[in-house]
Amino acid sequence: MSEQVVPEFQHRTVLLDEAVSALAIEGVRADGIYVDGTFGRGGHSRKILESLGPRGRLIAFDKDPQAIATAAGIADPRFEIVHDSFATMAQALQQKGIEKVDGVLLDLGISSPQVDDASRGFSFRADGPLDMRMDTTRGMSAAEWLAIADEQTIGKVVRDYGEERFAVQIAKAIVAGRAVRPITGTRQLAQIVAGAVKTREKGKDPATRTFQAIRIFINQELEELEVVLDQAFRQMAQQGRLVVISFHSLEDRIVKQFMASKARLPQPDRRLPIRAVDLPQPEMKLLARIKPSDAEVAENPRARSAIMRVGERLAGIASNGART
């Protein structure tokens, strides 16, 4: 039997030049330490390595075993890959003896190879096992979760993570469907959802929001995003850059609110006498909000919903005079 050749799924890195440029890797910062929290297929990491100086370091994270396999092909002593969630960033950097970093890049969501590979279960466009785990070596698959979750929980997940107005009807249909036979395939789930959704925006499949919701829940994407934003900020050196690319409103809302909270001027206790020099200062400067150009969207339609936000760490001063 001849060996079957499986073509490699291609991925176009969104906002590649803009994201790496936003890290401001230049001058003395070229020998700094940077983090790519979402290696994917390595587009951003390779571009960062091109900009790094000889003493620079890049620490990348990814949960996907296929991404880890791709990273193994980068033979650069300045580069390291961690097979884990970016939510473990603080612990991983501590174990490597790293106290501060000069920049963190997060490219959220799922990559094109994950979507296009039917065996991963992220998409209903081709039938495949209903998995949806970014890390296929651990955790519960979507099929396993749908087999045990109660109707109320399913409805809440679909409503909260998918912003789906037919969440109650979809949850009822899923519970009824699994009573007939286990829901194990992507097309099977998509058909159940389609039967429960009576209307949908033009050009959008009825199952889109439900698949998004279950994927986000299974991988705890929003919870891990909140964790990593706080960790990245705490690890950031003064003038360090935080660059985050998000692809839907739930992610972007979290990023926007986090950066805004750090850029907001803290209010001192007006009852206390405070010198002007000791007034609290913001901890972050908001630098940019960037969307892909029309040309990039034309070449890569999946870039259409991307929003990149950039913030710079400041030497904020608390009301007690301590630098943050």
Annotated binding site for S-adenosyl-L-methionine: 42-44, 62, 86, 107, 114
Specify the 3-state DSSP secondary structure of 119.
Answer: helix
Q: Which of 244, 266, 264 is nearest to 254 (CA)?
A: 244
- Euclidean distance between CA atoms 284 and 323, whole angstroms: 13
- Tokens 């890195």 sit on residue: 13
Cβ burial of 277 (10 Å; 0-12, 13-18, 19+) is: exposed
Asked if 54 and 30 count as a contact pair (C-beta separation under 8 A), the reply is: no
How far apart, in Å, are the Cα atoms of 38 and each of 75, 133, 202?
19, 15, 32
Which of 188, 87, 181, 66 lies closest to 134, judged by CA? 66
Q: Which residues are annotated as a binding site?
A: 42-44, 62, 86, 107, 114
Identify residue 138 by its one-letter amino acid code: R
Q: Are 312 and 240 in contact (CB under 8 A)?
A: yes
The one-letter amino acid code at 26 reads E
User: How far is residue 89's CA from residue 235's CA, in Å, rounded to a whole number?
Assistant: 9
Task: Report d(CA 44, CA 244) in Å as an integer.
Answer: 12
Separation between Cα atoms, residue 222 and residue 8, nearest integer Å: 29
